[in-house]
Amino acid sequence: MIRPSRSDHRVIGHPQRKIEGLAKSTGRAVYTDDITLPGMLHGKILRSPHPHAEIVSIDTTAAAALEGVHAVITGRDMPVQYGIIPWTPDEYPLCVNRVRYIGDGVAAVAALDEDTANRALGLIDVEYRELPAYLTPQEAAAATTDFIHEPKKPGHNGNVTKRVRLEFGDVDDGLDESELVVEGDYFFEGTTHTPIEPHCAIGLFEGDGKLTVWSATQVPHYLHRELARVLDLEGAKVRVVQPLVGGAFGGKSEPFDLEFCVAKLSMMTGRPVKILYTREEVFYAHRGRHPFHMRYRTGVDGEGKLKAVDAEILLDGGAYASFGLVTTYYAGQLLCAPYALPAYRFDSTRVYTNKPACGPKRGHGSVQPRFAFEVQMDKLAERVGMDPIEFRRLNFIGEDTRTINELRITSNGFLECLEAVERASDWKARFRQLPFGQGLGIAGSTYISGTNYPIYPNDMPQSGVQIQIDRSGRVAVFSGGSEIGQGCDSVVAYIAAEELGVPISHVRVLRGDTDFTPVDLGAYSSRVTFMLGNACIQAARELRAKVQSAVGEAWECPPDRVDLLGGLAVDTADPARSLPIAEAFNLAEARFGTLGATGSYNTPKDVHGEYRGGTIGASPAYSFTAHVAEVRVDVETGIVEVEKIWIAHDCGKALNPVLVEGQMEGSAYMGYAEALMEEQIFKDADHGRAGLHNAPSLLDYRIPTSLDTPAMESFIVESNDPEGPYGAKEAGEGPLHPSIPAIANAIYDAIGVRLDRLPFSPPNVWRRIREAEAGGGLTKPGAPSREVGVAP
Amino acid sequence: MQIAVTVNGRLHERSVEPRRLLCDFLRDDLGLTGTRVGCEHGACGSCTILVDGESARSCLMFAVQADGAELTTVEGLAPDGGLHPLQAAFREAHGLQCGFCTPGILMTMLPFLDENPDPDEAEIRTALSGNLCRCTGYQNIVKAVLIAAGVATNGESSQ
C-alpha cells in the first residue's frame, strides 16, 4: 500500500539543480589534490613486495640523507593499532613487524617533490623474512600455523576474523516439511569501488599543537577520532576538512595509511605534507566487495510459499578486519525481506587472506547473498511452475511488520516495484517467449536506510545540522554531511528552502569541516538523506516557527496563517498581504534575537531483536527494489549483452526525483559492471608472483564505458515512510542489488544455462555453455505451467 | 627546458623539467586545477584538454611536447565567466554527480560537437567511450550532450 504524501511542497519533490553543479561543470570545484599550501611537502609510501612476511629490520639512513628529504617514518613511529570497528583494531598506520599483503605500507617519506620522495623510497632498505601466504579463504580456514593475525585465544585459528551463526525458527523442520528444496552453490568474485578520484590527504601541524587533515574521506568524524587516538592528540585540537570527494562508493569510508602519514610527517617537519595515491595504490587500499562462497538450501511448500532457508557463507576478507565484523552479519541479516521467511539460518565465516583488505562497497555485505538468493528464487519458481514475478508476489512480506530476524519494516513499496518493471518490460508477453539467445530476468531486494547504531556505542545523535539566518535573507546551513557526489549538500539546501521560503540560491551550505559543522557520522550505509534530512527539518522548522510567530504578531494574525514561500512571507487568508522574506526574518530577529537553531536525529530503539547481533542490520526504514534485465547471449563466444535494465525503486519519497534517478541508474550500472566485467583478483604461484594484484590499473581492471553500459529506465515508487524526511528513504545502494541476479536469471531465460559464479565474462559463460552442451544441449526453458497457488 | 604555450588564450613562457607531465604543468605550475588526474595512464580521460583544437590526454604528454601549442582547459571553455552551452547542459541535465570526470568529458565533447553538430545517441556514446564516469551510468551525460547539441530539451529544473 502506498501512503498518501503531501503534495503542496514547493521545492521538495520537484527537479532541482545540484547546488555545486556550477562549480563542477566549470572545473572550479575543489577536491583535495587541488589544494596547495605554502611550503607543502610531498609524501610517498613504501609498500611491501611480499604477501606475508616478517619485517626483520628497516634502514632509512640513506633515504633520510637524500637531498630534499625532510622526514622518513616507519611503523614504529605510530605503533598504535586502529580499525574502523572499535572491537577489531588490527592494523597499524604503517606495518610494525609484519606485512600481510603485497602493497601493505611499510615506511613513508616527505620530500620537496614527488620525484625526490620516490627516489628516497628506493633507498629504504627493508629486510623481510617471508612467511607462507594464504591466498584463498579455504587455505586460510584450514591453516594451523603462520596465522595472518595472532589468534584471539590459544588454540584458535588466527585466520578466522569472525563467525556468526544465527537461526530463526526451525530450519531443519522447515526443510523436512518442504514440498521442494533447491540447493545451490554460488560464488561472488571480489570487486573494487574505483572512484575516479584517487585518495588524497594533506596534513598540517601548527605550532600551537593543532592538526588539520584535509582528506578525500566519506567519514570525517571517524577519521577525526582515529587521528586523535593513534597520534595521541587531544580531539579538540584535531580538525578534519573534507573537500569535495570525487566518488567513493564505500572505498573511502575508514581511515587509511596516507591520512596518518601526512599528519605524522607534518608533525615531524612542521610543514604541510600531501600524499596522493597512485591509481595502483587505490587498488591496494581496496576495502571493496568481499569474494563470497555461498551455499543455499531453500524450501517451499506445495503452493510455492517459502518454508525455510539455510545459508552457509565463507567470506574472503583480505588482510585486515576493516568493517568485516559488520559484513559477516550483513551477509545473513539483510536477506529477510522483501519475502517472508518462516525459518532462516545462516552460518557466516570471514577469514583473513594475504590480499588487500575487503570492506564495504555499495550494498555492503548484502549484494552477494542477494545474487545467490534471487537466483534460488528463480530456480524455485521454475520448479514449482510459477511465473517468477508471481512467485515473488506470493512470498511478499508486507508492510508494517517484522522480519523473521525481528527487524522492523515500516513502509514497503515492493509490490509496486514489481508491477512497474513487469509492465514496462512487457514481461507477460515476452518472458520465456523471446527467441533462443534472448531473455528477461527479474530480481528484487531490500536495503537499509542507515544503520540504526553508530560504529562506536553512544547515545548522541547520528546527525546534526545547524542553521543560521542572516538579515539579508540568506540562510546558512552548517552541515557535517559528506558530499561524495550523491547530493547531500543539495538536499539540506532544498529542505532549508522549503521550510524557510527562500530561493535555493539564498541558501549557503557550509560543510565538510569538523571545526564548525555538527557531527554527521558519514556517508555510509545509505544513512545520509534519512538522518541528515530529519536533522535539517528539525532545525529549519524551529526557525520557521519563530518567523511565523514574529510576522503573525506584526500582522495581528495567528502564526499558522503565515506561510513562507517563494521569497515571501504570505498571509494565507489574505494572499494580497505579504512581506519580502528578508523583512520577515528581520522582524523575527528583532523579536527573538540572533536567529540560529540546531536540529538532530537519532534512531528509534525498538526496531530489532534482543539477541546478540540483533542490532546489526537494523535500520529506521528499508528501501525496496525490483529490476528486470533483458539480455542477448551469443552461445558461440559466450558474450552477454545486457540490452536494458528496468529499475523500480521504493525510495519513500523522492526529495529531488532527478537525484534519485541518478542514484538508481548509477547503482544499476555498478551492478551490471560486477555482473559482467569486474574482478579484483590476484595472481597465484602458477601465474606470476603469488598474491600480486592481477591488474592494478584502469586499463586492465575493466569498468564499463558508455558503450558497454545498457539502456536503463527508472521508475520511482513512493511509499512515504512515516519516519523519513518528507517520507524519504535511501536510494544510493539498494538499486544495485537486483542488477546481478536479474541478469543471471535473464541469461537462463535466453539459453537455459544457469550462471552461479560471477562474473559472467565471456570465458566463464563460454565454459558453462560448453558444459551444458556436453550435458545434453542448449534449450530455451519452458513457460510457467501454472497459476498462483494452484498445485501441479 | 624553456617552453612557450598558449593556454586559454594567454601565453606562458616557462622553464620545465623534460619529464614534467603536461597535466602536472597545468595543475601545479599554472594552477589550472580543473584538469583532473584519475589514472595516470590515459585510461580514464579525466585529464582531457584541447591541444590545437583536438582532444588530448594531458597525462600522456610531457609539457615540452606542448611547446608552441595552443591549449584549452575547462577553465577556458567560457572565458567570460559565463557558461558554455555544454557546461549549462551538464548542469541542467544532471550530467554529473561527483563531478571529477566532468571537465575531461566536456573537453572531449567540445570538438566532437564541433564536428558532429547533430549527433544521435549512438554517436555520442561512441565519442564518450574513452572517458570513464563511475557515478552516473552515463545516461544523463548522453542526455546533456543531446541538450547541448539542441537535439533535446530538458526544461525540468525549476530553479
Chain B residues within 8 A of A195 when measuring between CB atoms: 98, 100, 134
Give domain status of residue A696, yes or no.
yes
**pLDDT of amino acid A52:** 98
Question: Nine-digit cell at A528?
Answer: 545520509
Tens digit of each residue's pLDDT (9 = 90 or more) over A503-537 = 999 999 999 999 999 999 999 999 999 999 999 99
Reduce the DSSP state of residue B5 to 3 states and report it.
Answer: strand
Q: Does B99 touch chain A (CB under 8 A)?
A: yes
**pLDDT of amino acid A792:** 39
Whether the per-residue pLDDT at A760 is higher than 50: the answer is: yes
**pLDDT of amino acid A790:** 43
Report the CATH number that the domain containing residue A445 is assigned in CATH.
3.30.365.10
Do A365 and A332 fall within a single domain?
Answer: yes
Decide if B99 and A699 are in contact by the 8 Å CB cutoff: no
Shortest distance between the Cα of A437 and any Cα of chain B, in A, equals: 23
Tens digit of each residue's pLDDT (9 = 90 or more) over A230-250 = 999 999 999 999 999 999 999
Pairwise CA distance, residues A731 & A752, whole Å:
33
Pairwise CA distance, residues A116 & A126, whole Å:
19
**pLDDT of amino acid A152:** 87
> Mean pLDDT, to the nearest integer, of A37-46?
98
Pairwise CA distance, residues A83 & A256, whole Å:
10
Q: Which residues of A358-397 are buried (b: 16+ CB within 10 A; e: fewer)?
A: bbbbbbbbbbbbbbbbbbbbbbbbbebbbbbbbbbbbbbb
Average pLDDT, chain A: 96
Query: Residue A785 — pLDDT band, cuts 50, 70, 90?
Result: confident
User: What residues in chain B have per-residue pLDDT under 50?
Assistant: 155-159
Q: Please provide residue A424's backbone torsions phi and psi, each rounded to the nearest 5 degrees.
A: -65, -35
Query: Residue A791 — pLDDT band, cuts 50, 70, 90?
Result: very low
Do A296 and A281 fall within a single domain?
Answer: no
Exposure of B111 in the CB half-sphere (CA atoms within 13 A): 16
Tens digit of each residue's pLDDT (9 = 90 or more) over A307-365 = 999 999 999 999 999 999 999 999 999 999 999 999 999 999 999 999 999 999 999 99
| Residue A194 contacts residue B134 (beta carbons within 8 Å) | yes
Q: Does A699 touch chain B (CB under 8 A)?
A: yes
Q: Which domains does chain B have, with CATH numbers?
A: 2-76 (3.10.20.30), 85-148 (1.10.150.120)
Tens digit of each residue's pLDDT (9 = 90 or more) over A577-636 = 999 999 999 999 999 999 999 999 999 999 999 999 999 999 999 999 999 999 999 999
Decide if B100 and A486 are in contact by the 8 Å CB cutoff: no
Give domain status of residue A6, yes or no.
no
> Mean pLDDT, to the nearest integer, of A714-743?
98
Which runs of E-coded beta strand occur in B29-153?
48-51, 54-57, 70-72
Q: Taking CA atoms, what residue in B is nearest to A362?
A: B135
One-letter amino acid for residue A376 of the chain:
Q
Give domain status of residue A190, yes or no.
no
Do A411 and A538 fall within a single domain?
Answer: no
Query: Residue A6 — pLDDT band, cuts 50, 70, 90?
Result: low
Give domain status of residue A154, yes or no.
no
Question: Nine-digit cell at A130?
Answer: 617471508
**pLDDT of amino acid A787:** 58
Decide if A36 and B28 are in contact by the 8 Å CB cutoff: yes
Partners of A624 in the β-ladder: A446, A650
For residue A473, what are the domain limits?
Answer: 460-601
Do A625 and A640 fall within a single domain?
Answer: yes
For chain A, counts of helices (H) and of strands (E): 19, 28
Do A375 and A521 fall within a single domain?
Answer: no
Q: Does A675 touch chain B (CB under 8 A)?
A: no
Give domain status of residue A392, yes or no.
yes
Tens digit of each residue's pLDDT (9 = 90 or more) over B94-137 = 999 999 999 999 999 999 999 999 999 999 999 999 999 999 99
Tens digit of each residue's pLDDT (9 = 90 or more) over A99-108 = 999 999 999 9
Shortest distance between the Cα of B60 and any Cα of chain A, in A, equals: 14
| Residue A118 contacts residue A46 (beta carbons within 8 Å) | no
Give domain status of residue A25, yes or no.
no
**pLDDT of amino acid A789:** 47
> Mean pLDDT, to the nearest integer, of A697-703?
95
Give domain status of residue A169, yes or no.
no
Tens digit of each residue's pLDDT (9 = 90 or more) over A217-230 = 999 999 999 999 99
Chain B residues within 8 A of A278 when measuring between CB atoms: 40
Question: Nine-digit cell at B79?
Answer: 572565458
Tens digit of each residue's pLDDT (9 = 90 or more) over A151-199 = 988 989 999 999 999 999 999 999 999 999 999 999 999 999 999 999 9
Query: Where are the alpha helices (H) located in A431-514, listed in sequence order?
Result: 488-500
| Residue B41 contacts residue B62 (beta carbons within 8 Å) | no
Decide if A707 and B129 are in contact by the 8 Å CB cutoff: yes
Do A221 and A344 fall within a single domain?
Answer: no
Q: Which residues of A25-52 are buried (b: 16+ CB within 10 A; e: fewer)?
A: bbbebebbbbbebeebbbbbbbbbbbbb
Do A646 and A702 fall within a single domain?
Answer: yes
What residue has cell string 606485512? Answer: A99
Pairwise CA distance, residues A472 & A320, whole Å:
52
**pLDDT of amino acid B151:** 67
Do A66 and A213 fall within a single domain?
Answer: yes
Q: Smallest Cα–Cα separation from A267: which of A228, A199, A210?
A: A210
Give residues with Cβ within 8 angstroms of B17, minimum separation 6. Answer: B1
Percent of chain A with pLDDT over 70: 98
Do A628 and A517 fall within a single domain?
Answer: no
| Residue A301 contacts residue A113 (beta carbons within 8 Å) | no
Partners of A565 in the β-ladder: A568
Domain count, chain A: 3
Whether the per-residue pLDDT at A87 is higher than 90: the answer is: yes
Do A517 and A416 fall within a single domain?
Answer: no
**Considering only residues 238 to 257 of chain A, which have any Cβ-Cβ distance to chain B shorter than 8 Å?**
244-249
Chain B residues within 8 A of A502 when measuring between CB atoms: none
**DSSP conformational letter for A154:** T
Domain endpoint, select from A231, A263, A285: A285
The minimal CB distance from B34 to the residues A28, A198, A669 is found for A28
Decide if B33 and A486 are in contact by the 8 Å CB cutoff: no
One-letter amino acid for residue A757 of the chain:
R
Report the CATH number that the domain containing residue A202 is assigned in CATH.
3.90.1170.50
Do A591 and A477 fall within a single domain?
Answer: yes
> Mean pLDDT, to the nearest integer, of A665-675?
98
Decide if B159 and A20 are in contact by the 8 Å CB cutoff: no
Do A127 and A81 fall within a single domain?
Answer: yes
User: What CA dihedral angle connects B3, B5, B10 and B11, to 10 degrees?
Assistant: 30
Domain endpoint, select from A601, A630, A659: A601
Domain endpoint, select from A557, A580, A601: A601
Give domain status of residue A176, yes or no.
no
